[in-house]
Structure 1
Amino acid sequence: MTTELVNIALKKAERSRIEEVDFNNLPFGKHFSDHMFVADFVDGQWQNLQVVPFDSFTLSPALSSLHYGQSIFEGMKAYKNEAGEVLMFRPLENWKRMNVSAERMCMATIPEEVFMGGLEALLRVDADWVPNTPDSSLYIRPYMFATDVFLGVAPSKTYRFCIFTCPVGAYYTKPPKLKVETEYIRSAPGGVGYAKCAGNYAGSMYPTMLAQKAGYDQIMWTDGVEHKYIEESGTMNIMFVIDGKLVTPATSDSILKGVTRDSIIQAVRSWGIDVEERKVSIQEVIEGIENGNLTEAFGAGTAVVVSPYSLIGFEGKDYMLSEIPKEDSLANRIFNYLTDVRTGRVEDTFGWMYKI
């Protein structure tokens, strides 16, 4: 899909802020590109599609999304290849997942031509913001929120869809330490864990803060019924290498279907490595660390790509993960492969990349 399929107005910023950014020092989510794409759902259709300078919104105090949480988002990245072309990684998967979230939250769905047309228009005008320094990329944040000015508890009839971008470097500078969470829950069967809605992340902040005060960096979430089975890790899917196999919790209505997760599974299987998507108990993980069968644990997600963990804390005891050389780890092989595909250094055999 291209912008020719939809009418998108363009209002360029009078002055670019790109010279204010040190592209060799990019903290995550601090610098925002010059423009954003906005569209409004009114009278049953998407309208007012436009790329405009990045700026604040004027909102009513009675905006329904501020009171009842109809708000969803996605996370994506764009890269540059050696020829300077802008490439997006599997954007249609994010569009599909955003509409899954929209349906669960009783919100308007977004047509492919609006989502992809907005992405293309925005990345064309802000192409210079896509970094080409090592471990950097342009993070893309599509999101949508309810815009009815009404305090009744009911689905909004109007919505705003927006996309903005920011150049980013590495999310973590060192392998994080995890604490297994057995009191608080992120999601539960029948809930909204599989949707990328704002409330999921708001609810995770307090237990994460407690874990950080205890000396950890992130949480390993367990199931909301028994606190026996591992679900996610912070804001990421989680993966283990056990007996030489890649093992990851099977997705469900309480686990987000990660695009990076799916990409890793496809790539690893193509290398002839066994992959198991199944229930993974915390007991299996602890025993695997103790007997040496579990050699790696890492998170997978758009922001971090792949993030190995250094230890897992459970019931007051820290279990150190084996320190195999980075160059020999499966996590490192995955990270390098995905980076090379995204920047055009190796052939895209899966057809993942979308060129602007």
Structure 2
Amino acid sequence: MKQKTLIIGMMLLTQGIISSAVAQVRQEIKIPDLKGYTTLKCDFHIHTVFSDGLVWPTVRVDEAYREGLDAIAITDHLEYRPHKGDIVAGHGRSYEIAEKAADKNNILLIRGSEITRPMAPGHFNAIFLNNNDSLDKKEWRDSFKAAKAQRAFIFWNHPGWDAQQPDTTKWWPEHTELYNAGYMNGIEVANGTSYCPEAFRWCLEKKLTMLGNTDIHQPIQAEYEFAKGKHRTMTLVFAKNRTIEGIKEALINRRTAVYVGDNLIGENKYLKELFENSIEILDVEKSKRGVQITFINKSDLTFKLLKTEHNPDVVYFRDYVIEPNCRHSIMVKLQNDVEEGDVNFEVTNLLVEPGQGLKYTYHVSKR
């Protein structure tokens, strides 16, 4: 047992040394702000060795710093702690260890825990806690009650997880009970790289906050190919200010979008503004043939456009990909003496409801 403990300790020390050596290189993520709000990049579901994760808490802070995040919540399991024979501590210890590193790296660190129960109700995260240990109850309803007593923000994790829902993604009576009692404030629409359209639909219908998180257990680079330009799954929070209180207020008021792969998932009003604030028109050149539009994508976001119903005398792309941080030119031909018209398209990777991208129109004119 002593040898096993020594090996684990050496592994964790090595992780900390390696992480500290590279923590100073931060890769900023360019996503525009919205009017009156700052866009914060957040991950509210991560694990450390204090439950079933494989890294020390400070490593999670260093990862968040390097990847351009603004905030993280450490949400170790209450009921599942496979390393507890080697690491004996209270449920809030991972947060306490990470605090100093978070302050040093200007990462907003949120105290949380994962309530880990069979279906139903399944797994839930409670964040903005002040006492993790009070949630460690035998009866799951008592755990939720204790979280709510601390004015926690509570959300349902990975509702489509096949280990708990192997045949269909179902809303159970227990979820209605939690929802009606005010013990469910949001749902993970994306967990890791998995997107759950049913969760997206429930958020829209029931006015619940949409979240996207990594649920990371391994070192983050084991899951995401950052060298190939990939990013971790995250929740975009449109906050009044860059504070923990600002994040909580935004979550309560459902000002979020989910960024998973090339997809953005959220309400139409937020995704439309993100799209418009990412694109800057540099030049509009008019001629007898039509209109050539030159623009730049100022963000790290990709936009996938698909032509929708339009006047056949307004001729433009069938589909088009706007790459990040690139200059683009698009020619719109106006035929048969047509002097103006609408360029109608759908941004297929900006999902405003399951299976439906953001619909957009840009008006052009020869005049």
Fold similarity call, TM over 0.5 = no
TM-score (norm 1): 0.24
**Which has more radius of gyration?**
2
Q: What TM-score comes out, normalization by structure 2 length?
A: 0.24
